[in-house]
Amino acid sequence: MKVFKVLFLAIPIFFFTCGTDNPGPINVPGNHQFGDWLIPYDNIYDGGPGKDGIPALLNPKLISAAEASYLSDADLVIGTLVNGEPRAYPHIILDWHEIINDQAGDQVYTINYCPLTGTGMNWKRNINGSINTFGVSGLLYNSNLILYDRDTDSNWSQMRAESVHGRYIGRSADLFPMLETTWLTWKTMYPETMVVSLNTGIDRPYGNYPYVSNQTKEDYREAPFLIFPVTNDDDRLHRKERVLGVRIGGEAKAYRFNDFEGNTIVRTNTIGGQPVVIIGNASKNFMTAYRSVLGGETLSFSGLDQSELPHVMTDNRGNTWDIFGRAVTGPDTGAELIVAEAYIGYWFAWAAFNPEIEIIDF
């Protein structure tokens, strides 16, 4: 009889432990409840490594350009000029960490880069007067990085540049200008640049790209396949073509390198009703954009020869502007153009986040 009693006890225990796979609601600070997402969580995926499984860096060791022998000229970097200090954040490192929390003078910022969408941005880390650090949430939306801030555990969609979940839900990221280009272009423009050292304190095979098949050598950066689904798959261009996307007032446009062949070329366009200047040079491997209004006046620009880099254009008021949208000579010296939400990314990603995106052919 005891035998059967034990048996009847064991069976409910078995089914009880099978009954649930959710440990409970996410602990969301503030008034938001579990389920408050600005993006449909049906389209959010667990990337595999888990929260902080891809370790973000904090104040990494920096070395001079001459010491950065691990970089080849064609390697892509994200260049910044925060506090007037040129720094380079190589894709070789960002591929393995995705987020670098850094500081230049009293300016704090986070370089965030998603290898799956090829998108890099520079966000200010001052939020509501406190200095935040960001980490990799391990979640993806439209195959794109979702960051989290360590102060409130809010989740931030990189390509929406806003918090999509948590206490900061709906808050936009404040942007610093940045430039994605090759190491050669960057160090030629800014020979005094500092660059992140491979001595990150974390053991990774930095020379190896993490998203290439060791069997077929098929490289994610070039092959058409995706690892995670997207909500809008647009086949107007090759999925992995690198385009400059610019988004203002809900309108997005995509610019292609083949419109910037031969030299530094400056083009103007209107996005979301705002005049914008797009600056690009295919051989130097960069494109960027700013709003072209200064003091209420819409400026008109002319490109400078590429030998003048980092100076890229002059305007009708007699100013010369550098690649970071700063007037370096002329009557408005010291003025800065308004940073547009503009960055290079794979076509599929820009189209996934902006189904109505227009491809501009000049």
Separation between Cα atoms, residue 114 and residue 143, nearest integer Å: 9
Other Cβ atoms less than 10 A from the Cβ of 47: the count is 20
Q: Which among 169-177, 208-216, 304-312, 339-347 is the span making contact with other proteins, rule CB under 8 A? A: 208-216
Binding residues for other proteins, rule CB under 8 A, total 52
Q: Return the residue of 55, 272, 275, 330 that touches other proteins, per CB under 8 A.
A: 55
Q: How far is the CB of 101 from other proteins (least distance, A)?
A: 11
Return the residues of window 5-24 that contact other proteins according to CB under 8 A: 6-7, 10-11, 13-14, 17-18, 21-23
CA distances from 307 to 24, 65, 283 (A): 59, 20, 12
Instruction: Give the one residue of 113, 123, 220, 347 binding other proteins; rule: CB under 8 A.
Output: 220
- Rounded to whole angstroms, how far apart are CA atoms 360 and 255? 6
Burial of 22 (0-12, 13-18, 19+ CB in 10 A): exposed
- What is the rounded CA–CA span in Å between residue 14 and residue 36? 33
Contacting residue, 29, 30, 34, 64, with other proteins by CB under 8 A? 34
49 binds other proteins (CB under 8 A): yes
Q: Report the alpha-carbon distance of residue 123 to residue 126 in Å, rounded.
A: 9
What sign for the dihedral angle of Cα 135, 204, 182, 344?
A: negative
Interface with other proteins (CB under 8 A), residue from 29, 84, 191, 229: 229
Q: Cβ closer to other proteins: 92 or 271?
A: 92
Q: Hey, how many other C-beta atoms are within 10 angstroms of the C-beta on 296?
A: 5
Q: Rule CB under 8 A: which of 119-138 touch other proteins? A: 135
Compute the least distance from the CB of residue 227 to other proteins, in Å. 7
CB 57 within 8 A of CB 200: yes
**Is residue 46 part of the contact set for other proteins (CB under 8 A)?**
yes
Residue of 59, 191, 211, 261 that binds other proteins (CB under 8 A)? 211
Q: Does 208 bind other proteins (CB under 8 A)?
A: yes
Least Å distance between CB 205 and other proteins? 4
Q: How far apart are CA 230 and CA 225, in angstroms?
A: 12
Binding string, 80-119, against other proteins, x = CB under 8 A? ----------------------------------------
Give the shortest CB-90-to-other proteins separation in angstroms: 18
Cβ(90)–Cβ(195) under 8 Å? yes
Under rule CB under 8 A, residue 250 binds other proteins? no
Min separation Cβ 146 and other proteins, Å = 10
The gap between the terminal CA atoms of the chain, to the nearest Å, is: 87
Place of tokens 């389920």: 35
Q: Does 222 bind other proteins (CB under 8 A)?
A: no
Total length of the chain: 362
Going by DSSP bridges, is the β-strand pair 341-346/327-329 parallel, antiparallel, or unpaired?
A: unpaired
Binding interface with other proteins (CB under 8 A):
3, 6-7, 10-11, 13-14, 17-18, 21-23, 25-26, 34-35, 41-42, 44-53, 55, 135, 139, 150, 202-205, 208, 210-216, 218, 220, 223, 225-229
